[in-house]
A and B are shown apart, each in its own frame.
Chain A
Amino acid sequence: MKDFILPDADYGTPAARAKETVTLNIDGYDVTVPAGTSIMRAAMEAGISIPKLCATDSVDAFGSCRLCLVEIDGRAGTPASCTTPVAPGIRVHTQSEAVQTIRRGVMELYASDHPVPGLTDAANGDSELQSMAARVGLREIRYQPVAQHVRQYGADGTSNPDWKPIDDSNPYFSYDPSKCIVCSLCVRACDEVQGTFALTIEGRGFDSRMSAGMADDNYLSSDCVSCGACVQVCPTGSLQEKSIAQMGLPDRSVITTCAYCGVGCNFKAEMRGDELVRMVPYKHGPANRGHSCVKGRFAYGYATHRDRILKPMIRENFSDPWKEVSWDEALGFAATRMKDIITRHGQKSVGVVTSSRCTNEESYLVQKLTRAVFMNNNTDTCARVCHSPTGYGLGQTFGTSAGTQDFDSVEHCDVALVIGANPAAAHPVFASRLKKRLRGGAKLIVVDPRRSETMEGPHYEASHHLALRPGTNVIILSALAHVIVTEKLYDEAFIRTRCDWDEFQDYAEFITDPRHSPEATEALTGVPAAEVRGAARLYATGGNAAIYYGLGVTEHSQGSTAVIGIANLAMMTGNIGRAGVGVNPLRGQNNVQGSCDMGSFPHELPGYRHVKNPEVRAIYEKAWGVEIDPEPGLRINNMLDAAIDGSFKALYCQGEDILQSDPDSQHTAAGLAAMELVIVHDLFLNETANYAHVFFPGSTFLEKDGTFTNAERRINMVRQVMAPKQGYADWEVTQLLANAMGANWTYTHPSQIMDEIAMTTPSFAGVTYEKLDRLGSIQWPCNDSAPEGTPMMHIDGFVRGKGKFIRTEYVATDERTGPRYPLLLTTGRVLSQYNVGAQTRRTENVVWYDEDILEMHPHDAENRGIRDGELVRLASRSGETSLRVWVTDKVSPGVVFTTFHHPGIMANVVTTDYSDWATNCPEYKVTAVQVSPSNGPSEWQETYERHSEQSRRILPAAE
């Protein structure tokens, strides 16, 4: 069992950052710590643990529980060690008789108004209060309370007004007010760590109790986002995961990596036998630093959901019901058909889609399958439809698609420019870290057509919100650059040393043209010129300025041009190569970075090396003993086009639901229907499987070893905590398929696959499982010159040498509004759901969002006679669907917004086939639509629903 756990001690208060140190004496031992450290923390660093209830090292000291009192020679009284900073030469006594007596007295008071736990209390063994009672030697409770919070009825049988019922409204944890000691750790965690400020202490004195939201709110109706931070810090079990009450305490824990978004949080999977009891964010996880969101912390129930398919299945035609068969039969069926198709239609008639949810090792094997066994380059991945323009844009300007920073960098940033991203919903743990910095004084600029959750929050708001018309990113980026160049706010020294000055001159000449000015472009973007000028000045002159961007930048017909525009901004202001700055693409899926690194694109071998280069092909030809096709392969959308044209016949699709997630669903469905063999390898019968002939059941991230690479290029370990329920980890299934087709792969553990990756890919040359175990994680490039990885890119020079400025001419998308389709639809995510929802829809997260909702401005709704909550028909040139409307001014007039989490709505029926000029990344973010009142599902929805039902039939297994 790989159960390596770094010491997880709680130091009580956060680390001090001062450089000067102070030496003091605690219980006879000299301790030297940074100035500003609390006595509590200094003691802990010397190995002396002072009893405490209201302190933890993720939030500032508060000094309320009175348990951590100490005596200091020469000082009066017994100060709280959590709020008292160290001073040179002081002598501290943590266990004098006086403080021991006080502690026992304090504990006795707590206990006098607390349920006395019997053997059946769920908090047993999970309560700091119990441990502290034991530590201070509490042996009796002398007080007989006149009033108490513990019992529902008083001694005389009348109801007790001070008693409050358990709040069970949150699906994952409960709040029992009778166990609350009002230490306010939960309130502070919500404020300081999560940044939501949903909790408060209500009432005064004896009446005070923690409360979520206002007095008549419960957890679910409050602003709570269910991140779990309050539960994690609660010292009494007042806030506790329901799974503990249901299952009991875990008996072991394994450190692993979340399989949701690209932040890549580390968790401790706490297990009882092979059952997962709870996921607890891992304090030493460099991406999350002990924090989590509702998805990673709680939404893992899909792993054991009844919808999960555990047996391989096959069928002749996708109109037939599925037949459950053995692995041997399914693999034989798939391999025979695949070989037959290659014989009849040629080696380029088949291909693969690698998964951005599976491990690096699994993606590597899937692209190897097409390159070394099918003998073509027809491989693509989810990144096609999300960050492929990042690959192109940053590759051209900086020389690598890599994000430039780690997430810790945000702690040093003074200005955050967030473009086309809503981290509060899509990258929540990063959002919490960003918000913490914003509350600390950093400024925020948001470029987004919507007033998103990220734009404002408790104790911060964006200095500038550039609420642009969808599709005008390039104009706004050019206008920002125009201001910086014409007002001479650029960093000439940086440009001269780090970039090509002549190229900058060419770019400056282009961008200086008055047609790029904020005033000239105001009518196109809808953003007041003064806002653009203000934002540009702030970005260029506000100190360390960092750009964080998401799919609102890339998923456009000019996505690659916009990424180039972003790179230009960072280079001209010198915001590259140090902490607090940089260009940070926020990746969507857990391993979309890794799947790209692993050669999932049809033109690149692992490590972003073009297949046209013979020296790169030679490496793989030697390692794999095959000839590599020097021609680029088909991208996903090209595969579908070729299928409709009749030249592409078979697809192996691992862990990606292209029918639901790719644009223009009817086109995707037609492409899939035209193929002779579709192999879907997934946890569930997803939408793509409605057109499949073979279904390989997949394994969850809990059931296999491997690595995920997050948005910081950080390779994180994924560790198996339970056996695969369907028999094989996904990498084993790909190997079995390859071998059934005649390959002779002999991997027995994913570490051997990583060894092959390291051997063939220079940026991974120094990566081994042994090193990952030792260091916890590694940011690539990791090689001889950076044996422990590279937290920050481009420190002394760009990967390509000189940074390259490139002109960014605006070209309007062909998708235009007109009389028939006068509104612009843009799409995104909500916090509780993830991507196509295959996982999160199968968890209790549906209490927050159980259908896709259309956001529409009151003005547009009024014009159409549409009222809040009604069913409306959303139609574009591609198709139509029906969904419910939320009338809100979060969107501007003329813009509507929805999500693509639910297949019943299938927002992608409406999105178009238009795509980025350089990479074919679909233009999800701009669709001309009309919205009208509706009284039922669209024809497509009805037809599709019938087709889904037909297609998901499973014949009982033969006796």
Chain B
Amino acid sequence: MSPEKMIRMANQIAMFFETKPHAEGVNGVAAHINDFWEPRMRRQLLDHLATGGEGLRPLVLEGADLIRKPKAA
């Protein structure tokens, strides 16, 4: 998936959870990604986060540690 598409998808999730109380929002973003993103997609996102996460909204950045790391393929 193109990096732009991945960033857009993650940010779309973040924007929904931005209306929730902050802590719930951070958890919500990570939980949603854990529940619905296949390991390849999470790996791509985590790799991007590891290099600074440019373009990602704050809730994604803050929830980075809560996103489950996929097992090595």
Please report A residues at the B interface, Cβ cutoff 8 Å.
346, 348, 377-378, 510, 557, 560-561, 602-603, 610, 612, 631-635, 638, 641-642, 645, 647, 807-809, 811, 814, 913-915, 917-920
Contacts and interface: CB of A to CB of B under 8 A. Distances in A.
B35 A561 contact: no
A603 B35 contact: yes
B32 A918 contact: yes
15 contacts: A510-B19, A561-B16, A602-B38, A603-B36, A631-B70, A632-B38, A638-B38, A645-B1, A807-B19, A811-B12, A915-B9, A917-B9, A917-B13, A919-B36, A920-B9
Interface of B: 1-2, 5, 8-9, 12-13, 15-16, 18-20, 32, 34-41, 70, 73
B50 to A, nearest CB: 19
A632 B15 contact: no
A557 to B, nearest CB: 7
A378 B39 CA distance: 11
B5 A917 contact: no
Contacts of B20: 807
Contacts of B13: 917-918
A808 B20 CA distance: 10
A638 B18 CA distance: 25
Contact of B1 (A642, A808, A809, A914): A642
Given A348-B40, A641-B5, A642-B40, A632 B35 contact: yes
Residue of B19, B32, B38, B73 with most partner-chain A CB within 10 A: B38
Contacts of A602: 38
Contacts of A920: 9
A346 B73 contact: yes
A641 B36 CA distance: 15
A913 B20 CA distance: 27
Contacts of B1: 638, 641-642, 645
Contacts of A510: 19
Contacts of B5: 641, 913
Contacts of A647: 40
Contact of B12 (A612, A634, A917): A917
A914 B39 CA distance: 21
Nearest to A351: B38
A808 B73 CA distance: 38
Given A641-B5, A645-B1, A917 B39 contact: no
A346 B73 CA distance: 8
A409 B49 CA distance: 50
B38 A633 contact: yes
Main secondary structure of the interface of B (DSSP, over half): helix
Contacts of B9: 915, 917, 920
A732 to B, nearest CB: 30
A377 to B, nearest CB: 8
Main secondary structure of the interface of A (DSSP, over half): loop
Nearest to A561: B16
Contacts of A915: 9
A642 B35 CA distance: 18
Contacts of B19: 510, 807-809
* Nearest 9 Cβ contacts at the A-B interface: A917-B12, A641-B1, A807-B19, A809-B19, A811-B15, A634-B38, A631-B39, A917-B13, A917-B16
Given A638-B38, A811-B16, 16 more contacts: A348-B40, A377-B38, A510-B19, A603-B36, A632-B35, A634-B40, A635-B36, A638-B41, A642-B40, A808-B19, A809-B15, A811-B12, A914-B8, A915-B9, A917-B16, A918-B16
Contacts of A561: 16
A920 B12 CA distance: 10
Contacts of A346: 73
A110 to B, nearest CB: 67
A91 B48 CA distance: 88
A814 to B, nearest CB: 7
Contact of B15 (A635, A914, A917, A919): A917
A914 B4 CA distance: 12
A14 to B, nearest CB: 48
A617 to B, nearest CB: 15
Given A561-B16, A642-B40, A814 B8 contact: yes
B69 to A, nearest CB: 11
A472 B19 CA distance: 18
Contacts of B15: 809, 811, 917
A621 B15 CA distance: 37
A161 B9 CA distance: 71
B38 to A, nearest CB: 5
Nearest to B68: A631
Contacts of B16: 560-561, 809, 811, 917-918
Nearest to A610: B35
A807 B25 CA distance: 12
Contacts of A913: 5
B56 to A, nearest CB: 14
Contacts of A917: 9, 12-13, 15-16
Nearest to B16: A917
A638 B32 CA distance: 16
A560 B17 CA distance: 12
A920 B2 CA distance: 15
Contacts of B34: 612
A179 B32 CA distance: 66
Nearest to A648: B40
Contacts of A638: 1, 38, 41
A560 B35 CA distance: 16
A632 B36 contact: yes
A397 to B, nearest CB: 14
Nearest to B13: A917
Contacts of A814: 8
